[in-house]
Amino acid sequence: MVIDLYVHKIVGWAIAANMPTELVASGLQMALQQRKYANHAEATRDIVNYIVAFYNCVRLRSTLGYVSLVQYGLQAAQQPIWVYEIT
């Protein structure tokens, strides 16, 4: 998972059939078993849906003033950018 540290927003993710470390693979396998997914494609669809539809758009962050990541990003984009010249 790739997170934009400025707005704490997930901006990228990847799921592969084989994970690079045993720890990550075990954690993913446990999550898949608990959800009883039929296959990798079904798990991928649900995870992408969670990230796109809920995590970035709906879930409120106390550290951001109880707004969603998308809302915070829109607010930040409307702020002026200050440029200072050091001489």
Say what the pLDDT of residue 5 is: 56
In this prediction the pTM is 0.54
Digit-coded pLDDT (tens) for 2-16: 566 556 776 666 666
Q: Classify each residue of 64-79 as buried b or exposed e, where b means 16 or more C-beta atoms within 10 Å of its C-beta.
A: beeebbebbbeeeeee
- Range 41-49 average pLDDT: 84
Count, in order, helices (H) and strands (E) of the chain.
3, 2
Using an 8 Å Cβ cutoff, are 43 and 66 in contact?
A: no
Digit-coded pLDDT (tens) for 52-76: 888 899 999 999 999 999 999 999 8
